[in-house]
Amino acid sequence: PPSRLPNVGTTIFTVMSALAAEHGAVNLGQGFPDFDCDPALLACVQQAMAEGLNQYPPMAGVAPLREAMAAKISTLYGHRYDAASEITVTAGATQAILTAILAIVGPGDEVIVLEPNYDSYVPNIELAGGVVVRVALQAGTFRPDFDAIAAAITPRTRAIIVNTPHNPSASIWRQADMQRLAEILAPTDVLLISDEVYEHMVYDGEPHASAARIPELAARSFVISSFGKTYHVTGWKVGTVAAPAPLTAEFRKVHQFNVFTVNTPMQHGLARFMADPKPYLDLPAFYQHKRDLFRAGLAGTRFQLLPSEGSYFQVVDYSAISSLNEADFCRWLTTEIGVAAIPLSAFYGDGRNQGLVRFCYAKRDETLQAALARLARL
């Protein structure tokens, strides 16, 4: 049959996790923690289940969770969303991104994607019939190139997708960057899809530059969060999207026929657990320790480390070690050295090779040490 996505195969994350399992490699490829969540969060969910909160929730999500998110965003980023009409609970950020795109992008509409980019964006835009307009992040630093962004905007531009902290590069936007984007978008109708799933993984005392901090941007944005990342429960697949009421109304039109609702007891459990801000306020220190441990361990190798300002990723340049292309190097690293990584080429439309791979350091210290022991001879 004709394919809607002729260029899409199985995601690199699935491929590398399978290869890592097959060869008993330490899996620093696919981004997920190898440690469990806070037992108090499990107790909150178990309690909700035991209370019989197991039937369909409201279409937009249970009120306590939407209210907890509205309160959190207000405290952290200073923008007050209306929990009833502006916050929607989704099946992870993945569904939030697809649903936002389906809600606003039609055939021929252009969507700007900053490359390298997370792998779901491009197929999502293509499914909506939109046109992908790739704008490169700056070579070497992966910082936004605002002249290139401004130049890419046309009368057909419907939206731009921004992701900070950034997967895969681990770069972050500063507040001044968001301000600059607000200025560029001001004279246009371009909407912003702001993928902020790593919002609590920003290091060295930097604040997270949320689009919600800038009123003019918030007015045209879908701000997307993921409990999977924030609470170490990637398998639960629960996230949220915050957007002004008219955008939320369009979002929900698609959402109700996409998943309709997201599982009930997780939502109640998360809402209760959110009463304590400590878990997410502690996250920068928790992951900065892992980042520093991993970077220190690689210091004696021939890997060249790029900065890791945010997210739980570390990009390295391996060109002093091997001349293999990135996918082959990752395969070799997994099968011969016993550590899985992700090739940066997977995040580029043209699959270019730059001698860069991504490691995930959301792992127990012992796991990182086991990986470092294997990488030490490189």
Binding site for ligand GLN (CB under 6 A): 11, 13, 30-31, 167
Instruction: Give ∠ CA 294-297-302 in degrees, rounded to 5.
Output: 110
Q: How far is the CB of 311 from ligand GLN (least distance, A)?
A: 9
Token pair recorded at residue 18: 């399978």
Q: Which residue, judged by CB position, is nearest to ligand GLN in the bound state?
A: 31
CB-based contact 344:20 (threshold 8 Å): no
Beta-bridge partner residues of 191: 159
What backbone phi and psi angles, to 5 degrees, belong to 150? -60, -40
226 binds, among ligand PMP, ligand GLN, none (CB under 5 to 8 A by kind): ligand PMP
Answer yes or no whether residue 61 interacts with ligand PMP by CB under 6 A: no
Instruction: Point out which span in 16-24, 37-45, 73-81, 90-98 binds ligand PMP (CB under 6 A).
Output: 90-98
| Identity of the residue, 167 or 210, whose beta carbon is nearer to ligand PMP in the bound complex | 167
CA distances from 316 to 177, 244, 308, 326, 369 (A): 25, 39, 10, 11, 17
Tally DSSP H helices, then E strands, for the chain: 16, 13
Q: How far is the CB of 254 from ligand GLN (least distance, A)?
A: 20
Binding residues for ligand PMP restricted to 304-343, rule: CB under 6 A: none
Answer yes or no whether residue 195 interacts with ligand PMP by CB under 6 A: yes
Kindly tell me the burial class for residue 245, based on how many C-beta atoms sit within 10 Å of its own C-beta (0-12, 13-18, 19 or more): exposed
Report how far Cα 35 is from the mean position of its chain's Cα atoms: 19
Of 146, 79, 78, 68, nearest to 112 by C-alpha is: 146
Choose which of 20, 25, 31, 44 interacts with ligand PMP (CB under 6 A).
31
353 binds, among ligand GLN, ligand PMP, none (CB under 5 to 8 A by kind): none
Answer yes or no whether residue 355 interacts with ligand PMP by CB under 6 A: no
The order of strands in the sheet holding 304-305 is 304-305, 313-317, 356-360, 342-343
Answer yes or no whether residue 167 interacts with ligand PMP by CB under 6 A: yes
Beta-bridge partner residues of 315: 358
Report how far Cα 61 is from the mean position of its chain's Cα atoms: 21
Kindly tell me the burial class for residue 234, based on how many C-beta atoms sit within 10 Å of its own C-beta (0-12, 13-18, 19 or more): middle
- The set of residues, in sequence order, having a beta carbon less than 8 Å from that of 257 and lying 6+ positions away, is none
Of 324, 326, 311, nearest to 357 by C-alpha is: 326
| Identity of the residue, 110 or 195, whose beta carbon is nearer to ligand GLN in the bound complex | 195
256 binds, among ligand PMP, ligand GLN, none (CB under 5 to 8 A by kind): none
Q: How far is the CB of 266 from ligand PMP (least distance, A)?
A: 12
Answer yes or no whether residue 201 interacts with ligand PMP by CB under 6 A: no
Q: How far is the CB of 60 from ligand GLN (least distance, A)?
A: 24
| Identity of the residue, 118 or 287, whose beta carbon is nearer to ligand PMP in the bound complex | 118
| Identity of the residue, 177 or 216, whose beta carbon is nearer to ligand PMP in the bound complex | 177
Instruction: Point out which span in 18-26, 132-140, 226-234, 281-289 binds ligand PMP (CB under 6 A).
Output: 226-234
Site string for ligand PMP, 91-130 (x = CB under 6 A): -xxx-----------------------x------------
Answer yes or no whether residue 228 interacts with ligand PMP by CB under 6 A: yes
Beta-bridge partner residues of 269: none
Answer yes or no whether residue 165 interacts with ligand PMP by CB under 6 A: no
| Identity of the residue, 164 or 248, whose beta carbon is nearer to ligand PMP in the bound complex | 164
Q: Which residues bind ligand PMP (CB under 6 A)?
A: 31, 92-94, 118, 163, 167, 195, 197, 226, 228, 234, 237, 239
